[in-house]
Amino acid sequence: MVATQAYGVIGACYGDEGKGRTVDAIVHRLGAGTVVVRSNGGAQAGHTVVAPSGARHVFHQLGSGAFAGAATHFSRFMVSHPMMLAEEVRAVAALGGETVITADPRGFVTTPWDMMVNQAIEMARGGGRHGSCGLGFGETVGRNEETDFGLSVADLRAADLRDRLVAIRDTWLPARLGALGVGDAGAEFLAFAASDAVLDRYLEDCRLFTQLVAIRGDADLGADLRRARHVVFEAAQGLMLDQRHPDFPHLTRSNTGIRNMLAIAGEAGIASLDAWYATRCYITRHGRGPMADERDIAGFFAVEDPTNVPNAWQEAIRTGLLDVDTLALTIAADAALAAESGVALTRRLSVSCLDQAVAGMVTCLAGGEMIRVPSLAFPFWLGARVGAVNATGWWSPAREALALCA
């Protein structure tokens, strides 16, 4: 009998929920032959994994199962960033991680000029910033979906690549900056962008990308399952940042939940999805925009977050108490998409940062009231309220934690 089940890890909040460690733990349990599929986002993802050796890496493009031996596949919904890939591959390889990468030829590709527009817009907004990472993700999606200046993974191997890039630089870039009216910031970027040194450096990045990444369609993931290999989808950002969420414009131009996973499953012949929804036992947001709750939680949690340090684009990370009712509604809305697709969904929950709860008690919001639940019981208590068949809790970054409640 052919196995057609895949696994998925989805952030249930605003990102930074522990997706990386959950992917790593699932891959470790599944064993050899696992492929991690990036189902959305791009290099702005930041999924932290600590290997048993103590080695720590923040995964941006490679799948977070690399330390556990998983290959990576960039789906057609993943935005590739050639300028950053080679460096990450070198870093992961040096730590003993797997660096085999394939990509669907339809995936969009970021250029340095997308980054320039992204950064010029945020600079021009001043105090009204949207909280972008400054890596050009949204501009890449817009350029590919809305103009004739698209650039895909397949195009990186085209004989006329340089001509395509010159057209983006000399025609699309000034037109885009002009339409946005970003003033002096745009003029500065235009002057820098005109340099052939930028173009030549990017062409070298693209050449390295084609050496590191093999072309492989999403539909071929079905062949992995027929060979008894395992497929684990890894989402980026969180459900509260999905492009269909009402908190526009402080969102990502991406489907952050199971929507893309289901589309890929349809192509690959995957019949069921074991989906892990990840959350911290409190909430965070790195970047601007509304939050379900925002407050100083120092009296409830001893927050430790070496990954999300303050930076010029997203500023300092923000915190709040987890609203259980909001979380349950958010997960339920995402999980409901499976019924429309015909893919059978099993809903699970992964709760991180429980070791940070002061006095071993998790403080959260439920029914409009502040309540406290023992941290040891919290994953199971929360899992029952969000409709998960089971839950796991993290009291440390150790991957073995996932097996406690699976």
Question: Could you say which DSSP state residue 323 is in?
Answer: B
HSE (side-chain half, CA atoms, 13 Å) at 86: 12
What's the rounded mean pLDDT across residues 260-284? 95
Tens digits of residue pLDDT in 210-247: 999 999 999 999 888 777 689 999 999 999 999 999 98
Q: What is the pLDDT of residue 401?
A: 66
CA 406, CA 401: separation in Å to the nearest integer? 9
The answer to whether residues 57 and 48 touch, using CB atoms and an 8 Å cutoff, is: yes
Question: Could you say which DSSP state residue 391 is in?
Answer: E
CA 45, CA 54: separation in Å to the nearest integer? 21
Q: What is the pLDDT of residue 2?
A: 46
What's the rounded mean pLDDT across residues 349-363? 97
Q: Which helix (DSSP H) or strand (DSSP E) does residue 345 occupy? A: strand 344-352
How do strand 283-285 and strand 318-320 relate by DSSP bridges?
antiparallel
Q: Kindly list the structural domains of the chain, giving each domain's residue range(s) and its CATH number in brackets, ordered by start.
A: 5-104+216-404 (3.40.440.10), 112-212 (1.10.300)
Name the pTM for this structure: 0.93
Residues in contact with 22: Cβ distance below 8 Å, sequence separation at least 6, in sequence order? 9, 276, 278, 350, 352, 402
Tokens of 226: 């027929």
Question: Could you give the 3-state DSSP secondary structure of residue 385?
Answer: helix
Q: What is the pLDDT of residue 287?
A: 82
Q: Is the pLDDT of residue 1 over 50?
A: no
- Which whole-number Å values give the CA distances from 345 to 6, 175, 226, 254, in the listed order? 10, 45, 20, 21
Tens digits of residue pLDDT in 109-148: 999 999 988 888 876 655 555 555 678 999 999 999 999 9
Cα angle vertex 23, ends 378, 206, to 5°?
145
Tens digits of residue pLDDT in 10-56: 999 999 999 999 999 999 999 889 999 999 999 999 999 998 888 89
Q: What is the pLDDT of residue 361?
A: 98
The better pLDDT of the pair 329, 183 is held by 329
